[in-house]
């Protein structure tokens, strides 16, 4: 496989991987196999009618990342993605900086607005406010990470004369990856993100999303200090070598692979298959 395309593993927070010994074994196996990163998702409370099985065990994302940091040495760790509006941003900034510190600078922070209304409501957030909260919370966290004298006065959060230490190892902060396929998500990625993340996309939908992202870049200017936008995609199915090359040809920099089920030994099989055919 070309050096330009990286492979991450998604899902060690869910299903059979929620067992502590199983999570530890799989994390170390993925690191030894040559995966570039481990990613976990973020749902705190799922309703009965959600597409994800509500009875499936799911370790909270930040706790899973901190645990994975202790289990591994080299592999990067990613949140794909934190539902930002349902998190308190001053606390979240501290938690993420702590994970980046304890992992020696291996954290990538994926953020999204969320879509599960009962979950958002249970955490005190309305669906109508999720976009505005996401923009404001991200700005507030960057102030806490970046500014020598943090001060912020927003609609949903305000603070002054408070400091958080340690700062993230990665300066000015861990890479921020914005998930979603809306115009607002593309704007956030272009204006504030180090990367963009597309979920469950085949080649055609990836090409369409990246075309929309390029069109959005004509409308929204990108700060020069952010550099090129890194593209991460979770394919709709496990790709073979030829298909992986086709994602790379479209402009994808990282594929996050997940098994067809989070139960049983499917993740073990995926790790072995990927090591044998793609890494």
pLDDT tens readout for residues 8-27:
999 999 999 999 999 999 99
- Whole-model pTM: value is 0.96
Token reading at 279: 């890494």
Q: Which of 221, 230, 164 has its CA nearest to residue 195?
A: 230
Quote the pLDDT of residue 56.
92
pLDDT tens readout for residues 200-212:
999 999 999 999 9
Quote the pLDDT of residue 135.
97
CATH for 6-277 is 3.20.20.30
pLDDT tens readout for residues 82-128:
999 999 999 999 999 999 999 999 999 999 999 999 999 999 999 99
Q: Where are the alpha helices (DSSP H) in 124-182?
A: 130-146
Quote the pLDDT of residue 2.
45
Question: CA-CA distance, 275 to 273, in Å (whole number)?
Answer: 5
Quote the pLDDT of residue 48.
82
Question: CA-CA distance, 81 to 151, in Å (whole number)?
Answer: 26
Q: Is 43 left (phi over 0), alpha (psi -120 to 50) or beta?
A: beta
Task: List the chain residues with pLDDT less than 50.
Answer: 1-3
Long-range contact set of residues 212-216: C-beta below 8 Å, sequence gap at least 24:
212/181, 212/186, 213/186, 213/189, 216/183, 216/186, 216/187, 216/190
């Amino acid at each position: 496989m070309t050096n330009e395309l990286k492979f991450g593993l998604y899902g060690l927070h869910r299903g059979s991987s929620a067992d502590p010994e199983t999570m530890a074994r799989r994390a170390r196996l993925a690191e030894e196999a040559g995966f570039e990163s481990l990613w976990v998702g973020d749902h705190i409370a799922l309703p009965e009618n959600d597409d994800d099985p509500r009875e499936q065990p799911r370790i909270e994302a930040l706790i899973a990342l901190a645990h994975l940091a202790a289990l591994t040495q080299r592999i990067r760790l990613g949140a794909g993605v934190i539902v930002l509006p349902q998190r308190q941003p001053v606390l979240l900034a501290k938690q993420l900086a702590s994970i980046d510190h304890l992992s020696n600078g291996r954290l990538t922070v994926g953020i999204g607005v969320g879509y599960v209304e009962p979950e958002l409501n249970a955490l005190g957030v309305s669906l109508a406010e999720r976009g505005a909260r996401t923009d404001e919370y991200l700005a507030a966290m960057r102030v806490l990470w970046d500014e020598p004298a943090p001060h912020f006065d927003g609609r949903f959060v305000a603070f002054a004369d408070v400091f958080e230490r340690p700062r993230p190892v990665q300066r000015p902060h861990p890479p921020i990856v914005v998930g979603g396929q809306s115009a607002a998500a593309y704007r956030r990625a272009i204006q504030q993100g180090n990367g963009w993340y597309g979920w469950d996309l085949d080649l055609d939908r990836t090409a369409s999303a990246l075309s929309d992202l390029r069109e959005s870049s004509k409308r929204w200017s990108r700060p020069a200090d952010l550099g090129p936008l890194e593209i991460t995609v979770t394919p709709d199915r496990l790709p073979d070598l030829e298909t992986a090359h086709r994602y790379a040809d479209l402009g994808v920099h990282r594929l996050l692979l997940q098994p067809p089920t989070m139960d049983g030994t499917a993740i073990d099989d995926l790790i072995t298959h990927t090591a044998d055919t793609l890494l």
